[in-house]
Amino acid sequence: MSEIAFYSPVPRSSNSKAKSKGNHSNDNDMDLDEMISSVAKNSSTSATLHVVTPGEVITTDSAYMRGHGTYVENEKVLSSVAGVVDRVNKLISVRPLHTRYNGEIGDVVVGRITEVAQKRWKVDLNSRSDAILMLSSVNLPGGVQRRKQESDELQMRNFFMEGDLVVAEVQSFFTDGAYSIHTRSLKYGKLRNGSFLEVAPALVQRCKSHFHSLACGVDLILGLNGYIWVSAHVPQNLDEIDTEQVYSNKNKEDITVQDREAIARVANCIRALAAEFIFINDTIISFAYEASLQHKLKDMTKKEIMHQIATEAVDAVENMKG
């Protein structure tokens, strides 16, 4: 019979070590002038990081312009979100601490089909509104190149069904701010053979590639929207892909116990990193995986061990950088 572990909550600052180390690449932090830092001192936060809550006055000086996350009332600039004040010359904006996905064209995203509509699918991307995948933006099975016909429209559910996970690329925006995405490449399409997890979208940064194949035999797709797909390795040779199978719902038969363990381990490493607010990329995941090998897989849901793995991974990355 397994044990159930009960813990007391801990104060938020107790694991700041990994946090401060993890935030390495964010160097566009404030250059606040005296005025704002004096406000910061008054509001009992540190002078370098001005944290505000919704409705809090950022400045009473009407010379400043309001940016994202702020509004003006009685000639004062107030914050509309909980976050950190950012200032560029006269423009004041607030970067929210917790936000939905803000996409850019060309982003690789992982999404879940929520609705099948007229000539389009609605896709959940963890953004403010569902993205749209047009029937004309997908490849036909077999790679046939032709205009989509009414017959294709009738069998849309054979391509993507509600609940299906897809990897796609942001193609353009609609006038209402919704994203239009496409899967017109063999890299993109339906996801199989693995498990899904979700992290804060801000933790996944734009990189050269978002498709990774780790040494431990695990494939990884880091969606910029914070949705991550960890799956068993499938040898990829874009010339030899069976184009008839791109819309199949069947997992491959030979996912071994070792594969499953590796997938769960990688997924837990990502969770451990995300819990410490560390940016997620393939390098740090590999280091976290190495660090995790000394622990039993089932122990990896434990907070203490997750913290340890994340700290070790951050140290390893810093050692590598010299």
Residues of the shown chain interacting with another protein in the complex, contacts defined by CB under 8 A: 1-12, 112-114, 161-165, 190-196, 249-251, 255, 257, 260-261, 264-265, 267-268, 271, 297-298, 300-303
191-200 residues labelled b (16+ CB within 10 A) or e (exposed): bbbbebbebb
The type of residue at 55 is G
Nearby residues of 246 by Cβ (< 8 Å), 6 or more positions away: 139, 141, 186, 189, 190
Q: How many CB atoms lie within 10 A of CB 271?
A: 19
Residue 73 or 242 with smaller CB distance to another protein: 242
Residue 37 or 247 with smaller CB distance to another protein: 247
Shortest Cβ 208–another protein spacing (Å): 27
Residue 93 or 111 with smaller CB distance to another protein: 111
85-103 residues labelled b (16+ CB within 10 A) or e (exposed): bbbeeeebbbbbeebebeb
Pairing of strands 108-117, 165-173: antiparallel
- In the chain the first and final C-alpha atoms are separated, in Å, by 46
Shortest Cβ 124–another protein spacing (Å): 8
Residue 90 or 157 with smaller CB distance to another protein: 157
Shortest Cβ 218–another protein spacing (Å): 13
Shortest Cβ 121–another protein spacing (Å): 12
Pairing of strands 179-182, 131-134: parallel
Residue 87 or 112 with smaller CB distance to another protein: 112
Shortest Cβ 8–another protein spacing (Å): 6
